[in-house]
Amino acid sequence: MERHFDLELADLKKTLLTMSAMVEETINRAVSSLEKLSPELAREVISADESIDRIEIAIDDKTFDLIIRHQPLAGDLRLILMAGKIGTELERIADLAVDIAQRTLKLAGQPLIKPLVDIPKLSSLAQQMVRDSIQSFVNLDVTLARSICKRDDEADSLRDAVYRELSEIVRRDGGLADRAIPLILVSRHLERICDHATNIAEDVVFLVEAKFIKHCGK
Amino acid sequence: MKKIIEVKNLNLWFGEKHILKNISLDFESNEISAIIGPSGCGKSTLIRTLNRMNDLIPETRITGGVLLDGQDIRQEHDVVTLRTKVGMVFQRPNPFPKSIFENVAYGLRVQGISNRREIADRVENTLKAAALWDEVKGNLNQNAFQLSGGQQQRLCIARALAVKPEVILFDEPCSALDPISTARIEELLLKLKISYTIIIVTHNMQQAARVADKTAFLLMGEMIEVGATSQIFKQPKDKRTEDYITGRFG
Amino acid sequence: MKRNRLLIQKLWFSVLGLSGLIIAIILFALVFFVTTRGFRVINWEFLTAAPKDGMTAGGIFPAIVGTFYLTLLAIAAALPVGVITAIYLNEYADRDSRLVQVSRKAVNALAGIPSVVFGLFGLALFVNFLHFGVSILSGGLTLAIMILPVIIRSSEEALSAVPFSFREASLALGASKWYTIRRAVLPTALPGIFTGAILGIGRVAGETAPIMFTAATFFTGRLPSSIRDEVMALPYHIYGLMTEGTHPEQQAPIAYGTALVLLVLVLGIDLIAIIWRYRSRKMKKW
């Protein structure tokens, strides 16, 4: 039977996809603002955050409304609850992009202390994970979702590598701390983005299989 | 959205019993408005006032007014035109013991329409609008009682639609139906609101939540609260509303 | 204790069953009695010829025709009046009004009046006062008055058995009260009204007293040519054969034969009513 409810669910999914596109875009900009040390790009990232926040609230509102009106059960309920959670994760990712942009503003105006090697790797990993997590949500692709969870370790080791390299530099020359610490923080922000992407992937697995896989195997 | 029906300070007594107490409420066009409340709160009586079905009950006394398109339904409308503008679907499916075709045609014949072609066309269009056409198109001459309960109720909806009303009143239309038939009727309501104004009385709060744009809560003849459905169910302003919708009483 | 209760229950069931059985036995005995005495005289001539040889031979055709005309006229007169009265009482009138209470009591009282009184009343009103004479007209109208209560009551029952929801549905579509009655209520009540009417026919077909002074004659050689003619009728024919005439021992078997015809006729009519009611009940699902 045709359900009016399905139209509303489709609408919710669409809103979530719009939000994820905006979030991907904002990560891209944040990373390139760092690579180019461009304060303009960084400011764009910071100002775009507001509209993402608004979408998050809209999604919360919509999920609340759907629960009130339709008393969803089973797959409908999982979809609505997970949509709400994914919205929150995406908003947190956007906040981390803002954090990266703020680090850019700190670093702008002076050359980087070293050419970036691991950070671009980490950032492309983070972007890929975010994109894939959304993809797995759209297609309800559990295999893809599970593969994302495994990539999280890779992100952790890249972050550790950045930390080791930069702490070595600071140990040798304490005066460089101002220019090294923001980069360490960036690596941590990127790693956190990967964590959130992992959460999304875990939510997708719950959505499809009604099984919690988080906090397992760690 | 324009106001189609305005209820102003409506009081109603059956004999000595004060059933509706000073109710004021508006119904907007192309919206579904739900009236909820425990049994005996006066919700059916309220919508039966809107097409003057209460006239059938002796010793009814009414004060205050009901305006349809700005005109008082008791002074400026005669009851026949009022009821063609404000149709009604009842609690139990009540098709006539006639064929499916004749059931839908009944209201047209009441209006004196006798052109066979016109009647046939309108019966078909109406049955389509009521999402029943595909199920019955092959046997329009079948007795309506051979349909299932849900189909009968959709037939009754078609019968009401046939005379092209502005407003349709639904008096607990799903209380005698199974969940699937109920869901079908609810889907139908959501489609119908594009062309009609719908007022539904229901004891089923979830149903009000699912279909209504606006919800009014009645308790012992008083209107406790009215508002957007999501507001009523998210954060009712009155404690009695909250108690009722959370199942603390009623 | 429990055993005791079961025993009492069984006892009562047997009593109830026995009463039913007694009724069936009485009916069976009656039919048997009339049939064994009557069937010998029945043949084609008996059904299609007039009596001859001073009522000792021939048939009963004029009486069959007479009874047919009388009941036809009675039902034609009583049905419209009865149905209209029932509609008034059931649909229009305020239930507590004095007129309704008086009419309803009158209907009940009418049902209780002995049939011979109707006969006298018909004689006074139709035969003498209105100068209809002893005729089909007078007899038919007298019978009509007699079955009026049956028809009114059964029509009222049929009307009030029509669910209120049909009336509501019709009124809610903007139909007037009269339109609602004509198009929604009456068609639904019609099977019930007709069953009542048919049972009424069965009843008047067998009445003797109301037609004794108003329509019936013991013997006429010709069939009636207008409703102003007097006629023979089956019940009166039986009465006449058993009480008048010059050859009682030859007339008695003819009387039983006539009784058998009348019995078959009345039971046949009742059977039609029963079948009709059964079928219309099977149809309705409200």
Question: Which whole-number Å values give the CA distances from B44 to B208, C67, C281, in the listed order?
Answer: 15, 56, 32
Q: Which amino acid is at C36?
A: T
Domain that holds residue C150: 58-283
**Range with the poorest average pLDDT among A164-173, B157-166, C55-64:** C55-64
Predicted pLDDT of residue B228: 94
pLDDT above 50 (res B207): yes
Q: B101: closest CA among B81, B125, B124, B78?
A: B124
User: Nearest C-alpha of chain B: how many angstroms from A87?
Assistant: 20
In a domain, C42, yes or no: no
pLDDT above 90 (res A174): no
Predicted pLDDT of residue B10: 94
In a domain, C79, yes or no: yes
Predicted pLDDT of residue A202: 93
Cβ within 8 Å, pair B230-A65: yes
The ipTM of this complex is 0.91
In a domain, C147, yes or no: yes
With bands split at pLDDT 50, 70 and 90, how would you rate the model's confidence at A218?
A: very low
Cβ within 8 Å, pair B184-A1: yes
pLDDT above 90 (res B99): yes
Residue ranges in chain C assigned as alpha helix (H):
2-38, 44-48, 61-87, 98-112, 115-122, 136-160, 164-172, 177-180, 186-205, 209-212, 234-243, 248-283
Rounded distance between C-alpha atoms, residue C84 and residue A130, angstroms: 82
Cβ within 8 Å, pair B96-C166: yes
* Residues paired with residue C231 on neighbouring β-strands, in sequence order: C216
Measured torsion, CA atoms of residues B82, B84, B90, B92, in degrees rounded to the nearest 10? 150
Per-residue pLDDT of chain C (286 residues; tens, 9 = 90+): 667 888 888 899 999 999 999 999 998 999 898 888 888 888 887 888 777 766 667 778 888 888 888 899 999 999 999 999 999 888 887 777 888 888 888 888 888 888 889 999 989 998 889 888 888 899 899 999 999 998 999 999 999 989 999 999 999 999 999 999 999 999 889 888 888 888 888 888 888 888 888 877 777 767 777 777 888 888 888 888 888 777 777 788 888 888 888 888 888 888 888 888 788 777 665 5
pLDDT above 90 (res B108): yes
Q: Which of C94, C165, C187 sits opposite B94 (nearest CB)?
A: C165
Cβ within 8 Å, pair C168-B156: no
Q: Could you tell me the residue ranges of all domains in chain A?
A: 2-209
- Please tell me if residue A64 touches chain B, with a CB cutoff of 8 Å: yes
Rounded distance between C-alpha atoms, residue C260 and residue C34, angstroms: 6
Predicted pLDDT of residue C192: 86
User: Nearest C-alpha of chain B: how many angstroms from C75?
Assistant: 27
User: Nearest C-alpha of chain B: how many angstroms from A65?
Assistant: 6
In a domain, C38, yes or no: no
Predicted pLDDT of residue B194: 93
Chain B residues in contact with A65 (beta carbon < 8 A): 230, 234
pLDDT above 50 (res B215): yes
Coil, helix or strand at residue B106? helix
The C-alpha angle with vertex A51 and arms to A45 and A53, in degrees rounded to 5, equals 100
Predicted pLDDT of residue A157: 92
- Two tokens, residue B144: 């309506």
In a domain, C49, yes or no: no
Predicted pLDDT of residue C284: 62
Task: Name the pTM for this structure.
Answer: 0.80
Q: Which amino acid is at A72?
A: P
Chain C residues in contact with B105 (beta carbon < 8 A): none
Q: What percent of chain A has pLDDT over 70?
A: 98
Q: Which of B58, B83, B97 sits opposite C172 (nearest CB)?
A: B83
- What does pLDDT average to over chain B? 92
CA C133 to chain CA centroid, Å, is: 23
Q: Which residue bears the tokens 């023979």? A: C232
CB C64 within 8 A of CB C47: yes
- Please tell me if residue A4 touches chain B, with a CB cutoff of 8 Å: yes
DSSP letter assigned to residue C94: -
Domain of C254, CATH number, reads: 1.10.3720.10
User: Nearest C-alpha of chain B: how many angstroms from C196?
Assistant: 20
Find the residue in C nearest to B54 (Cα).
Answer: C168
With bands split at pLDDT 50, 70 and 90, how would you rate the model's confidence at B246?
A: confident
With bands split at pLDDT 50, 70 and 90, how would you rate the model's confidence at A109?
A: confident
Give the total number of structural domains in chain C: 1
**C147 HSE (CA, 13 A, CB side):** 33
Rounded distance between C-alpha atoms, residue A139 and residue A133, angstroms: 10
Burial A25-36 (b: 16+ CB within 10 A, else e): ebbebbbebbee
Cβ within 8 Å, pair B234-A2: no
In a domain, C21, yes or no: no
Q: Provide the 10 A C-beta neighbour count for residue C174.
A: 23
Q: What is the pLDDT of residues C109-146, one digit of tens each?
A: 888 888 889 999 989 998 889 888 888 899 899 999 99
Q: Which of C166, C175, C176 sits opposite B94 (nearest CB)?
A: C166
Predicted pLDDT of residue B250: 54
With bands split at pLDDT 50, 70 and 90, how would you rate the model's confidence at A87?
A: very high
CB A87 within 8 A of CB A16: yes
* Mean pLDDT calculated for residue range A74-78: 91
More confident residue, C284 or B170: B170
- Two tokens, residue A12: 């919710």
Domain with residues A2-209, CATH architecture: Up-down Bundle (1.20)
